[in-house]
Amino acid sequence: MFQLKRKKPSVLGVDISSTSVKLVELSKTDTGYKVESLAVEPLPANAVVEKNIQDVEAVGETLQKALKRSGSKCKQVALAVAGSAVITKVITMPATLSESDMELQIELEADQYIPYPLEEINLDFQILGPTTNNPDTVDVLLAASRSENIELRTAAAEIAGLTAKIIDVEAYTIERASKLLLPPEVLRQQEQADDEKEKEPFLIAALDVGATMTSLNVIADGELIYTREQAFGGKQLTEEIMRRYGLAYEEAGRLKKVGGLPDNYIPEVLEPFKETMAQQVSRFLQFFYTAGQYHTVDMIALAGGCASIPGIDELIESQLGIKTIISNPFNNMELANRVNAQALSNDAPALMIACGLAMRSFD
């Protein structure tokens, strides 16, 4: 069940975040992708806490509502667990091993790589390709997560009448969807490059700023090279609205999205939060720079609910001097008649994970 990148039947991409369930269904066209259906359904408070499911019944019922709202007839889903819930490790193995022999050897030696008993985890692997400078071995990516993380998500899907066919890792879904964000000129350069080693990679810093957690995933020419998660998100803004104006949490969250707060909200509450968010982005990038060989990135792509804050891209770009965009992987996709173009545009930054999961149908 815990599988990373193997070809599967057509699936719905379902992202279970701390505040909502997001669903995307894609089909393939001659020129790219088509959005067949989507839905975003809010979760009851505390049903999911920091990406951990606390109330599986509530999550399942919310997913059922999202499925009904979307109009999709698909019954198979791809779900994801947070990177913090997964242990990944790249190992080398003999290139002569068949996949079944490799699987057997990994199971026998799993305790060398994973600090949990094998019966408590779901484990999978993906062959990445030949090891650099050693044609006799291949690099293999191992991924393991506690079985509880998988079982709660599959149980929620079952409550909604769905079958979980794929459990992915959030960072890899963003890696997949980020390929749709590359500027046309970069795509042309990559297609024209005869020798990849002579070309500097194009680095995207994909920052997903959700309700309670922010993740940085740095992608170099379509490959994930760095990931980091930290507690920070839009909940801090909602709580400040609560405190400042004496509102309940749900009402503060609603007014934050639809408007109607007092005139001093923007200068005294929203603008300071935007400054804090820009500082967090800068801090995340500093962690990346100190961890490896790179000292800058080519583009920042903001995702998650906080990416919809007006002007946040301009603020970050002006402060950091790096081109900053609001993620919209659906920009060049066709839309089915039942898909509301305005709703899709509004929700696009928060749908990166769901989009990346839906793309699993075509790996």
Q: Can you tell me the mean pLDDT for 185-194? A: 61
pLDDT tens by residue, 234-251: 999 999 999 999 999 889
CATH number given to 12-236+273-362:
3.30.420.40
3-state secondary structure string across the chain? CECCCCCCCCCEEEEECCCEEEEEEEEECCCCEEEEEEEEEECCCCCEECCEECCHHHHHHHHHHHHHHHCCCCCEEEEEECHHHEEEEEEEEECCCCHHHHHHHHHHHHHHCCCCCHHHEEEEEEEEEEECCEEEEEEEEEEEEEHHHHHHHHHHHHHCCCEEEEEEEHHHHHHHHHHHHCCHHHHHHHHHCCCHHHCCCCEEEEEEECCCEEEEEEEECCEEEEEEEEECCCHHHHHHHHHHHCCCHHHHHHHHHHCCCCCCHHHHHHHHHHHHHHHHHHHHHHHHHHHCCCCCCCEEEEECHHHHCCCHHHHHHHHHCCCEEECCCCCCCEECCCCCHHHHHHHHHHHHHHHHHHHHHHC
CA–CA distances in Å: residue 194 to residues 219, 220, 338: 21, 17, 43
Question: Taking 70 as the threshold, does the pLDDT of residue 211 lie above it?
Answer: yes
Q: What pLDDT, on the 0 to 100 scale, is given for residue 113?
A: 80
Report pLDDT for 80.
Answer: 96
Over residues 29-53, the pLDDT tens digits come to 988 999 999 999 999 989 999 889 9
> Which of 109-123, 161-175, 208-222, 276-290 comes out lowest in average pLDDT?
109-123
Structure confidence at residue 8 as a pLDDT band (50, 70, 90): very low
Contacts of 41 (CB under 8 A, 6+ apart): 20, 21, 22, 23, 62, 63, 65, 66, 69
Q: Contact 144/116 with Cβ under 8 angstroms?
A: yes
User: Two tokens at 56?
Assistant: 């599986």
Within a 13 Å sphere around the CA of 255, how many CA atoms are in the beta-carbon half? 21
- pLDDT, tens digit (0-9, with 9 covering 90-100), for 150-163: 999 999 999 999 99
Give residue-wise pLDDT tens across range 131-143: 988 989 999 988 8
**pLDDT tier at 10 (50, 70, 90 boundaries)?**
confident
Q: Which amino acid is at 123?
A: L
Neighbouring CB atoms inside 10 A of 287's CB total 12
Cβ neighbours of residue 14 closer than 8 Å, sequence gap 6 or more = 21, 22, 23, 63, 66, 77, 78, 79, 157, 162, 354, 357
Amino acid identity at 350: A
> 7: pLDDT confidence band, cut at 50, 70 and 90?
very low
pLDDT of residue 77: 97
CA angle, residues 91, 167, 96, in degrees to nearest 5? 30
Domains of the chain by residue range: 12-236+273-362
Amino acid code (one letter) for 27: S
Q: Is the pLDDT of residue 331 over 80?
A: yes
Residue 191's pLDDT is: 60
pLDDT band of residue 149 (cuts 50, 70, 90) is very high
